[in-house]
Chain A
């Protein structure tokens, strides 16, 4: 597995860079303060920002989840694990949990596969390539709320252009009430997410593909290898690290989906698109049960951690096997 050797090398590089820096040694340079003091001084603002806006809320949320805090009854007493016991038996929570997992898996896989296809096309030379590459940034740059509303109009059950096109192409015989019906609502949201994220995924994978040396592919072609064989045995293995890491980031991002669902369906119809983020938001800000709401979001945090862990373990196993 060539890509693994490549990835171990690249992880060794920063180490040597670090060694060089410490070799130069700034301490004697700073006239008033030694380098180490400067370093911590410069890192402090970033540290304070992340500690107060990211770490503190996680820890505080963990605490809140062990209390019966509610902004309505004004209670905030320690209640042990009662929120988690309630959570375990809460059908709404598991409903949202499964929806989130399904959404994450479906959108990540679709985005990676379609993105890879797009990247392979962009890898070839053709007229207007710059234009295509530029256009691909449009879905990425658009606010998600706007994407949501836009898909609301595209997939409108009455006058939506998608229904019109499908109807006139003879693919359906009557209008589909896309996000208004429990059967198709989740699919519509997945389509919207795939639309928004795939082009950017493709651009990331493209930069990965472009690092595959052309000489390798040329050599394989000289030996008579067909297109898909060079893809399967040369490009894909070399692209694997990029693919896995991009997939991991995509999965973690998809897992947090909120804007798209909240604006397009609000979790409905009949809770068929309720995800963990929208459920937490409702428990927190509609019922104002901050204790129970924090238990939901903490459970979500734990699930996300497990997804990340599974990806990392898989990566490590691949590396071990290669050694």
Chain B
């Protein structure tokens, strides 16, 4: 199509691409730059993108005063546990739906999908009462159990979509060789699905890492609160510490962005295959 493009169109396309780039990256770059600037510079009335003077004060505040590392640790525990549970439970379900003789499989898939559309605010009240009765408030367990159910629909759908692309001849061959059903999943299907497992694992991780509502309701102290709750509570008595917030934002977002950029191709493929195209 390139040869039919007029110079005007080319300019238009590059301009558009630049706009998208600024749109996507600009705000976070400003936030990142903010985290290295002194409060004095931030309120001076003449903002500059290059930190001058450069300071790590806000990172010091975030970790020493606000004890950010506690929140990071809680988030890591909860998110990693959620990821592995989601992959385990999700792959069992996706395998059964894709490879075994399940009646009404598409009905089941639709139900799983519609569950993910339930307003979470409608779940949080009753679940809070259950957690209170079971003594699960302020525990990792309550968060992990909840996040498993939140991540499961997407994980199951994406894995199902991937399993469907694996040729059926494999099942046939495995059957001839007398491989059992769990053997087929464990030794054949899962090893073949490694790229998809990594992507779905990352999606489950992001879901848990970013979740706010349930963490807010179920935890009340720094020993169990996760990063989103921690950052939401980042306020000083007399002013909003924008620099400290920016530093904390950078700490929790940069690793996520690196991961996402590293796996970007798989993420886009996985999501579109599972969510939209079916």
Q: Is A189 an interface residue (CB 8 A)?
A: no
Q: In the assembly, what is the distance between CA of A125 and CA of B95, in Å?
A: 38
- Among A49, A143, A301, the residue within 8 A (CB) of B152 is A49
Given known contacts A138-B25, A143-B227, A57 and B123 CB-to-CB distance under 8 angstroms: yes
Q: Is A223 an interface residue (CB 8 A)?
A: no
Within 8 A of B (CB), among A15-59: 17-18, 20-22, 24-27, 29-31, 33, 35-36, 38-40, 42-43, 45-46, 49-50, 52-58
Q: In the assembly, what is the distance between CA of A25 and CA of B102, in Å?
A: 11
Q: Is B268 an interface residue (CB 8 A)?
A: yes
Q: Is B145 an interface residue (CB 8 A)?
A: yes
Q: Which of A134, A144, A221 has the most CB of B within 10 A?
A: A134
Interface pair B242/A156, CB less than 8 Å apart: yes
Within 8 A of A (CB), among B195-228: 206, 209-210, 212-213, 216-217, 227-228
Q: Is B17 an interface residue (CB 8 A)?
A: yes
Interface pair B275/A132, CB less than 8 Å apart: no
Within 8 A of A (CB), among B2-56: 2, 4-5, 9-10, 13-14, 16-17, 20-21, 23-25, 27-28, 30-31, 34, 42-43, 45, 47
Q: Is B64 an interface residue (CB 8 A)?
A: no
Chain B residues with Cβ below 8 Å from A139 are 24, 27-28
Given known contacts A57-B126, A60-B126, A297-B125, A138 and B20 CB-to-CB distance under 8 angstroms: no
Q: Is B252 an interface residue (CB 8 A)?
A: yes
Interface pair B213/A14, CB less than 8 Å apart: no
- What does the 1/0 interface line of B140-173 toward A look like (CB < 8 Å)? 0000011011101100100000001000100110
Q: Which range contains the number of B residues in contact with the other chain? A: 35 or more
- Among B4, B117, B249, the residue within 8 A (CB) of A221 is B4
Interface pair A126/B125, CB less than 8 Å apart: no
Interface pair B209/A143, CB less than 8 Å apart: yes
Interface pair B149/A54, CB less than 8 Å apart: yes
- Among B1, B181, B253, the residue within 8 A (CB) of A124 is B1
Chain A residues with Cβ below 8 Å from B153 are 50
Q: Is B96 an interface residue (CB 8 A)?
A: yes
Q: In the assembly, what is the distance between CA of A148 and CA of B216, in Å?
A: 15
Q: Is B80 an interface residue (CB 8 A)?
A: no
Q: Is A172 an interface residue (CB 8 A)?
A: no
Q: Is A212 an interface residue (CB 8 A)?
A: no
Q: In the assembly, what is the distance between CA of A203 and CA of B24, in Å?
A: 12
Q: Is B100 an interface residue (CB 8 A)?
A: yes
Q: Is A300 an interface residue (CB 8 A)?
A: yes
Chain A residues with Cβ below 8 Å from B27 are 139, 150-151, 154, 195
Q: In the assembly, what is the distance between CA of A45 and CA of B148, in Å?
A: 11
Interface pair A121/B17, CB less than 8 Å apart: yes
Interface pair B268/A207, CB less than 8 Å apart: yes
CB distance from A163 to the nearest CB of B (A): 10
Q: In the assembly, what is the distance between CA of A151 and CA of B27, in Å?
A: 8
Q: In the assembly, what is the distance between CA of A203 and CA of B269, in Å?
A: 10
CB distance from B156 to the nearest CB of A (A): 6
Within 8 A of B (CB), among A236-263: 242, 245-246, 249, 252-253, 255-256, 258-259, 262-263
- Among A22, A132, A141, A255, the residue within 8 A (CB) of B257 is A141
Interface pair A143/B253, CB less than 8 Å apart: yes
Chain B residues with Cβ below 8 Å from A273 are none
Given known contacts A38-B181, A43-B93, A149-B249, A50 and B121 CB-to-CB distance under 8 angstroms: no
Interface pair A277/B121, CB less than 8 Å apart: yes
Interface pair B127/A46, CB less than 8 Å apart: no
Q: In the assembly, what is the distance between CA of A193 and CA of B180, in Å?
A: 49
Q: Which of A133, A150, A151 has the most CB of B within 10 A?
A: A150
Chain A residues with Cβ below 8 Å from B13 are 121, 124, 126
Sample of 15 more A-B contacts, CB < 8 Å, known A46-B112, A164-B47, A263-B232: A22-B101, A24-B172, A29-B180, A42-B93, A43-B97, A57-B123, A126-B10, A145-B228, A145-B229, A149-B245, A161-B47, A211-B277, A242-B277, A277-B120, A300-B119
| Interface pairs A-B: 7 shortest CB-CB | A53-B149, A46-B93, A57-B126, A42-B96, A60-B126, A145-B228, A143-B210
A-B pairs with beta carbons under 8 Å apart, 17 shown: A14-B278, A38-B181, A38-B182, A50-B115, A55-B115, A60-B129, A117-B16, A135-B25, A142-B210, A146-B228, A152-B240, A159-B43, A199-B23, A203-B272, A207-B272, A242-B276, A277-B213
Residues of chain B at the chain A interface (Cβ within 8 Å): 1-2, 4-5, 9-10, 13-14, 16-17, 20-21, 23-25, 27-28, 30-31, 34, 42-43, 45, 47, 88-90, 92-93, 95-97, 99-102, 105-106, 108, 112, 115, 117-129, 145-146, 148-150, 152-153, 156, 164, 168, 171-172, 175, 178-182, 206, 209-210, 212-213, 216-217, 227-229, 231-232, 234, 240, 242, 245-246, 249, 252-253, 256-257, 259-261, 264, 267-268, 271-272, 275-278
Residues of chain A at the chain B interface (Cβ within 8 Å): 10, 14, 17-18, 20-22, 24-27, 29-31, 33, 35-36, 38-40, 42-43, 45-46, 49-50, 52-58, 60-61, 64, 117-118, 121-122, 124-126, 128-129, 131-146, 148-154, 156, 158-159, 161, 164, 195, 198-199, 202-204, 207-208, 211, 214, 217, 221, 227, 242, 245-246, 249, 252-253, 255-256, 258-259, 262-263, 276-277, 280-281, 284-285, 290, 293-294, 297-298, 300-301, 304, 308
